[in-house]
Amino acid sequence: MIHNMKKITILGAGIVGSAIAYDLSTSYKIKAADIDEKKLSILKKMKNVSLQRADLTNPKNLYELIKDADLVIGAVPGFIGFKILKDVINAGKNIVDVSFFKEDPFELDKLAKKKNITAVVDCGISPGFSNIVLGYHDKKMTIENYECFVGGLPFKRTVPFQYKAPFSPIDVIEEYIRPARFVKNGQIIIKDALSDREFIEVESIGTLEAFNTDGLRSLLKTMKIKNMIEKTLRYPGHIDNILLLHDSGFFSKELIEVKGKKIRPLDLTAKLLFPKWLLEKDEEEFTVLRLKIVGRENGIKKEYEYNLFDRYDKKTGISSMARSTGFTCAAVARLIMEGEFNEKGIIPPEYIGANEKCYKIITENLAKHKVVFTSVEKKL
């Protein structure tokens, strides 16, 4: 059943934006906007979805696109995500965002509250669903340790990188160069990304390599937990190739001159890697998420372990990373559209997980799409 009076504008029609449209178009009228007509064309066959080619960085274009929206979804590349989030808040529209920009979203908290806006940020798989799970348990127990391991990879391993990016390569590179923050004995520790390598075993895949990335983000401000860490998963050997590029200056943001033209090595590298990291049509890939939460619940020391193993959906053609990221975002969007969650300001996902009813609705929505988490509870 379509709610004729309820409309959602999705900014960004990449693989995550299109997965969000696929989910929400069953219940709402969707307007999808992107500057890339090729991306928009993929959504042409979806019912209840209208398409609009537009430069989203132009505030006038943006305001026109979202003026009749009941909710906005931000699914743009990270380097323009913060600006667009601010513009949407200034326009007085609720938003759920998955752009994972580098800026601190809480800088916009006062503005969002002044505008009486609900602005959910980092609402993907991790950060995103991992935060929701942590927020849920934080209400029920005193947490001492939190670990998160996450990665999305192709089944087919092609050297040298053994990796494909389901979203913008420049956003992946940003993950590799942004200093990683984690918490040890109550203190925030900062290390280089790609540091503290370790191996973990994943059933049906084998050995993967984990390394530090800056994935805790909002949790560093919102959670008082003694030990917290997030690591990214790749096939063994991937990091060595990335470090070679990094140490050789290929990820530098400083302008250099080449034949009279000034360029950033990072932009050139992203351009060159894009075709090598692009998933082939119908290429099968998977997403792994493993969470460990340890603490005291009703005086008893417990450990909760959550595991997700999701794969490319042959029937819909939606990648696992788009499914797990996009359907989490869509589930939260539904909460706001249906009045189940209406807290104002900048809302990291852990705030939503703290609401048990919202937590259950989100997990039920994911289960409908067969994005299923297994959990094991142990007394320690």
The residue assigned the tokens 């990016």 is 165
- Confirm whether 7-125+321-371 and 129-311 share one CATH topology: no
pLDDT, tens only, 258-300: 999 999 999 999 999 988 898 888 899 999 999 999 999 999 9
Max mean pLDDT range (3-7, 146-150, 163-167): 146-150
What DSSP string runs through 251-317?
T--S-EEETTEEE-HHHHHHHHHHHHHPPPTT--EEEEEEEEEEEEETTEEEEEEEEEEEE-BTTTT
* pLDDT > 90? residue 72: yes
* Whole-number pLDDT of residue 3: 46
Strand partners, 285: 154
Collapsing DSSP states into helix, strand and coil, what is residue 102?
coil
| Span 162-185, average pLDDT | 89
CATH superfamily placement of domain 129-311: Dihydrodipicolinate Reductase; domain 2 (3.30.360.10)
Residue at 297: amino acid letter: E
Ramachandran class of 12: left when φ > 0, alpha when ψ lies in -120 to 50, beta otherwise: left
Q: What is the mean pLDDT of the chain?
A: 95
> Could you tell me the residue ranges of all domains in the chain?
7-125+321-371, 129-311
The domain 7-125+321-371 is classified under which CATH number: 1.10.340.30, 3.90.25.10, 3.40.50.720, 3.60.15.10?
3.40.50.720
- Supply the pLDDT for residue 1: 47
